[in-house]
Chains A and B, each alone.
Chain A
Amino acid sequence: MLHLVDPENSFVLLALAILTDGLVYAAYLFIVAIGLSLIFGVMKILNVAHGAFYAFGAYCAATAAGMYFDKGLPEAGGFLAMALAALAVGLVLGLLLERTILRFVYGKDEVIIVLVTYAAFLILEDVIIIIWGPSSLSAYQPLIAAGNFMLGPLILSGYDLGLVLLAIFLAIGSFLGLRHTRYGRLLTAVIFDRETAAAFGVNVTLFFTITFIIGAMLGALGGAVMAPKISVTLGIGVEVIVLAFAVVAVGGMGSIEGALVGALIVGLCRAAAVHMLPQVELFVIYAVMAFVLVFRPHGLFTRAQPRKI
């Protein structure tokens, strides 16, 4: 029996375990939350339907994987097929939701908009049952294909490493996108002050539509990316909503750095809890949220808001 615990280096092992597990969980949270963070930051909408985008992304990706791998085509293409399926469904759902429902409620109270997205979520959850039936799908091939590797005494999954790299790529991509593209700079303007941006001739309505669609696609992509690791079944959307909300609340409104830092903090705390005090794992995410909000009521990275008198 392979003994992976070296009594002399217990502390190092523990620290390494917490670090690697924390990073993997943080990557999971960030990938899942980035779509929500974007929509929240630009449109000030807490999009509950994000959970449905995630679930649809996972289901479509798993279906695509099933069809693809049945044909015995090369493995790398399978992952591409899954991603494309998810992006496509994200595009369709985002467009559908934004154009048919959301645009009627833009001027209204924020809570009304949240509830509209909640209504959409309820409907979409049952649409999943109608389309796929009460079943569970799997798309495990990419997970197996990525294999595993050793980091010191720890066995880590290649797929998890891929997720961490994807999260970093998404973070850098959004950063650069916001700073160095025209769309990104205009987006930043809209986030800061919608009215002034509109006064300068920015087509805010178009921006909202584009942003919502991008957010939906990112949400669906999150589902596709997680599909190989999980059982794609009823109810996966619900859990994701709270996690994404917590990350966004910790990070601050619409800030990518905030979502990243928020994900890291929650990920590391959770890993620490599992390894050192498993009893408190249940509380960790809410305790972190409450703790951060107590000291930074607007989340960690907030933009200075001018006081309106």
Chain B
Amino acid sequence: MGLRFGIGRLSAIGAGAALSVALTASAYAQEPVKLGIVSFLTGPAAVPFGVPGRNAAELIIDAINKGSLPAPYNSKGLGGASIEARYVDEAGSTANQVTEYRNLVQRDGVDAVVGYVSSGNCLAVAPVAEEMKTITVLYDCGTPRIFEEDPNHKYVFRVTPTATMDSVGAARYVVDKKGDIKSFSGLNQNYAWGQDSWRDFVLAMKALAPNATVDRELFPKFLAGEYGAEITSLLTSEAELVHSSFYGGDLESFVAQATGRGLSQRKTMIFSCGESAMFRLGNRMPDGTIIGGRGPHGVLARESELNTWFQKEYAARFGTPPTYPSYHMAQSILGLKAAWDKAAAAKNGARPSTDEIIAAFEGLEFDGPSTRISMARANGHQGISETAYGVFKFNKEANRPEVVDIVRYPAECVNPPDGVTSQEWLEGGMKGAKCD
């Protein structure tokens, strides 16, 4: 893998350099690329996910059009063509989203779509994308069902790894760091996201810590807001560890109420989506909480020129550091750019066809702002990457939230291999995981 990395990087830099030379000569001689961006702009998923995603899209697209990203993305446009973005709100029913997708492709004539936070929308839109023969990059939804249920996909891509990775990473971190766990409880929202996250976590724990038992399994309604009964239940339970895939308003409300009743002093909590709330919560997030970021994003990210650029520019433009939904969007658009540029380079800068872009995208390895992504699953359409978990600590002197004790798990350790569904892999004890 090391050698492939090196060659991959060299050829990427070489291609990038050649491309920059070729493209600056004929800057924007082409028609712009119309890109549809779909994300939650209103509703409860907007503040934690939809808007950070949309902001990242704005930032990255502007930078691509100006050519101001660090290498290897410093060429202007997609294969030299500037991007015209069209933003659509993901709020509304699935029927609305299918209609809006068709509108984007058939009425507005977009060349590609990057979007979707909700797994339900991803599932509904994927077959339509195939029917409309339009490249669609799903940027944030976590369900593994997209490619598991439709093996004949050609136009749909997902750069961001599935949510399976989050639960497996959580289980591994907890087992590595907390050693002998007798039992654990769960507090997850009562809908597909919460149900799937909990089920995956329980299965992963069964494989890694077979003697640990499940204590309380709490499933408050999504957007319940009032968690008094759940907190009492957890306070009076035996298990010291509490897993939660809560996010957004629910997470922040729960933390407020739980801290008020001293839960954090008595239990260790692990929030698989905690990173997205850490800046809004600041010093109200209890020290010692284990948090994840659905990947090694934000404060969990590796240092790189691209990451430094991203964090600086995003904070300057939007007043707050970027969190994982922003990274998911950034890496999705950058992946598309990498594929597009590669396909264009093969044609000496001419506009690549959809099939050529698809061919370039499949199996691609590229750098996102936080880590390297490898499109290594589902015939090269599903990305995998490493993940990271750490412990939250509020730095009082510097007056900012931080994460310490970070552990990274390689991609092949926390993502299921090809040929087996997530569920089967977890139930089979995660056979084939390469964790060294």
Contact = CB atoms under 8 A, between A and B. Distances in A.
A touches B (Cβ under 8 A) = yes
Interface of A: 1-5, 13, 17, 20-22, 24-25, 28, 125-126, 129, 134-136, 138, 140, 143-144, 146, 148, 153-157, 159-160, 226, 228-231, 233-236, 238-239, 270-271, 274-275, 278-279, 281-282
A278 B218 contact: yes
A230 B221 CA distance: 15
B236 A229 contact: no
B17 interface: no
Contacts of A25: 226, 228-229
Contacts of A279: 219
Given A140-B284, A274-B230, A235 B223 contact: yes
Interface stretch (B130-138, B162-170, B255-263, B421-429): B255-263
Contacts of A156: 261
Contacts of A275: 229, 232-233
B235 A140 contact: no
Given A235-B43, A282-B219, 13 more contacts: A1-B266, A21-B232, A134-B41, A136-B47, A136-B248, A140-B256, A160-B228, A229-B256, A230-B256, A275-B229, A275-B233, A279-B219, A281-B220
B235 A4 contact: yes
A20 B261 CA distance: 14
Of B50, B224, B225, B248, the most chain A CB neighbours within 10 A belong to B225
A275 B221 CA distance: 15
Given A1-B266, A13-B236, A233 B248 contact: yes
B229 A271 contact: yes
Nearest to A6: B236
B224 A239 contact: yes
A234 B225 contact: no
B42 interface: yes
B359 interface: no
B252 A229 contact: no
Contacts of A231: 248-253, 256, 280
Contact of A159 (B47, B260, B266): B260
Nearest to B256: A140
A22 to B, nearest CB: 8
B260 A144 contact: yes
B47 A155 contact: no
A125 B89 CA distance: 15
Given A134-B47, A136-B252, A231-B249, A148 B229 contact: no
Place the interface of chain B in its size category: 35 or more
Contacts of B226: 24-25, 28, 226, 229-230
Given A155-B261, A235-B249, A275-B229, A129 B256 contact: no
Contacts of A21: 228-229, 232
A22 B51 CA distance: 36
Given A154-B235, A275-B233, A278-B218, A134 B46 contact: yes
Interface string B33-62: 000000001111011001100000000000
Interface string B115-157: 0000000000000000000000000000000000000000000
A155 B44 contact: no
Interface string B375-397: 00000000000000000000000
B190 interface: yes
Given A21-B232, A154-B236, A234 B219 contact: no
Contacts of A144: 259-260
B46 A2 contact: no
Of B228, B235, B256, B257, the most chain A CB neighbours within 10 A belong to B228
Contacts of A278: 216-219, 233
Nearest to B219: A278
A18 to B, nearest CB: 8
Contacts of B356: none
21 contacts: A5-B238, A17-B233, A25-B226, A28-B226, A134-B50, A134-B51, A138-B284, A140-B284, A143-B257, A143-B260, A157-B261, A226-B226, A229-B260, A230-B253, A233-B47, A234-B46, A236-B44, A274-B220, A274-B233, A279-B219, A282-B219
A123 to B, nearest CB: 13
A281 B253 CA distance: 19
Nearest to A149: B261
B428 to A, nearest CB: 27
Nearest to B250: A231
A138 B256 contact: yes
B284 A126 contact: no
Contacts of A228: 256
- 6 smallest CB-CB distances across A and B, nearest first, come from A231-B252, A235-B44, A21-B229, A274-B229, A230-B253, A231-B249
Nearest to A4: B236
B218 A17 contact: no
B232 A154 contact: yes
